[in-house]
Amino acid sequence: MSQSAAVPDPLERLRDERLQIDQLFDSFARRQQNPGHSAAETARLSAWICTLLRVHDDLETRVLEPALTARLVAGGHGHPALARAAARRVAVREAMDRVEASPRGPDHWAEMATLARQARAWFRTEEREVFALANALAGGTALDLAALDEQLGRRQEDLLSAGRGAQR
């Protein structure tokens, strides 16, 4: 953990979520190598990956980025790191839309591979630029990490609860 144990770290929450998504992508890729995989289970796994990606996207766009922007910008201008992460997220959303449109189609495996590449590129940009920006702001006490972590936790719980209800 990059922060002391006494201070919650919202970036660790997001890193943990990214790690889970990355591991699920690896599980999905291993399924492709197993000819006995169930199409229904594969569809459920890809749906769960998309759900987690949408939660991650929401946490960034509705909680993290507004918190950073509020501390960075005078006059409403964006920060280049946030703009680059937003562009990566758009590519991920487009790839998710294609995956969700054909969960059992002939191109599903290829679409999932594209989604994995897009998501991993987004995660690298997030780590390298957005998280570095958040850490710089936290170091200058412009960003309250405990409050941000609490806000992220509530939103994450709400979104995952709604996602589980939709998958039943």
Q: What is the pLDDT of residues 95-121, one digit of tens each?
A: 999 999 987 788 888 999 999 999 999
Residue 3 lies in a domain: no
Q: Please, are residues 41 and 47 in contact by the beta-carbon 8 Å criterion?
A: no
- Which pLDDT band, with edges at 50, 70 and 90, does 19 fall under? very high
Residue 150 lies in a domain: yes
Which range of residues forms the domain containing residue 101? 10-167
Residue 77 lies in a domain: yes
Verdict on whether the full-model pTM lies above 0.95: no
Residue 125 lies in a domain: yes
Residue 2 lies in a domain: no
Domain count, the chain: 1
Residue 101 lies in a domain: yes
17-21, 32-36, 163-167: range with highest mean pLDDT? 17-21
Q: Which residues, 6 or more positions from 68, have their beta carbon under 8 angstroms from its beta carbon? A: 79, 82, 130, 133, 134, 137, 143
